[in-house]
Chain A
Amino acid sequence: AQSVAQPEDQVNVAEGNPLTVKCTYSVSGNPYLFWYVQYPNRGLQFLLKYITGDNLVKGSYGFEAEFNKSQTSFHLKKPSALVSDSALYFCAVRTLDNYGQNFVFGPGTRLSVLP
């Protein structure tokens, strides 16, 4: 079965420091990978996606993610964190297998950027 893991419930980082939010996946077939962000009392907002091609994907608000097939990971990164980046981040994977299409979200990681 397809699954997405975000091993950290919470990530704390100081403003101006680089941040990483981890995501690993388990799928059968080629994955389409996504990152979404959710601010308080808001719906999810798309950040970036990997479909094919360059393993380093650049997205909104200065975020990027690196697809690593051997490690089955798709970690979200940003070189310099802002306090306004504090939010809940979800990794998601879409796959197509013998049972049809499947879209699975990870449990989410809460990012706190401290001033």
Chain B
Amino acid sequence: ETGVTQTPRHLVMGMTNKKSLKCEQHLGHNAMYWYKQSAKKPLELMFVYNFKEQTENNSVPSRFSPECPNSSHLFLHLHTLQPEDSALYLCASSQGQYQETQYFGPGTRLLVL
């Protein structure tokens, strides 16, 4: 699990707050992903970056804003979230986009009040 790290591990925020989730991978991979895991729902792919370029945005609301400054770092900026956005947010990376096994971070558990 130390290959992909995420901070913070837990976050509580109000609906008017702005916060950011950080993901870092130490595996030399070129692709990174954000997933949302809600209770009793399948894992939802949010964003995909390949070589720092966003290649997929699965109809995610604009209150979620990703940033990938380099192949090792991925951020998810949060602004004016809703209580239904409370979930576990997982970051993953892979050598190539989709073509190889994805390695997941431990996740950030987000609670929006």
What are the residues of chain B within 8 A of A115 when measuring CB–CB?
A: none
Binary A-proximity of B33-47 (CB < 8 A = 1, otherwise 0) = 000000011110100
A25 contacts chain B at the CB level, 8 A cutoff: no
- Flag if B42 contacts A101 (CB, 8 Å): no
Binary A-proximity of B72-104 (CB < 8 A = 1, otherwise 0) = 000000000000000000101000011101111
Given contacts A90-B43, A107-B41, A107-B42, contact A46 B107 (CB under 8 A): no
Q: Which residues of B contact A (CB under 8 A)?
A: 1, 4, 6, 40-43, 45, 90, 92, 97-99, 101-107
Q: Which residues of A contact B (CB under 8 A)?
A: 4, 34, 36, 41-46, 49, 90, 94, 96, 101-108
What are the residues of chain A within 8 A of B102 when measuring CB–CB?
A: 44, 46, 103
What are the residues of chain A within 8 A of B107 when measuring CB–CB?
A: 42-43
- Flag if A43 contacts B42 (CB, 8 Å): no
| Minimum Cβ distance to chain B for residue A111 (Å) | 17
| Residue of B with least CB distance to A4 | B42
Cβ contacts A to B, 9 pairs, < 8 Å: A44-B43, A44-B90, A45-B1, A45-B104, A49-B101, A105-B42, A105-B43, A107-B41, A108-B43
| Residue of B with least CB distance to A42 | B106
Q: How far is the CA of A101 from the CA of B104 in the complex (A)?
A: 19
| Minimum Cβ distance to chain A for residue B43 (Å) | 4
| Minimum Cβ distance to chain A for residue B26 (Å) | 14
| Minimum Cβ distance to chain B for residue A46 (Å) | 5
Given contacts A42-B106, A43-B104, contact A101 B98 (CB under 8 A): yes
Residue from A46, A101, A102, A103 with most neighbouring chain B CB atoms (10 Å):
A103
| Residue of B with least CB distance to A47 | B101
Partner of A43, one of B4, B40, B97, B98: B4
| Minimum Cβ distance to chain B for residue A76 (Å) | 16
Q: How far is the CA of A43 from the CA of B99 in the complex (A)?
A: 20
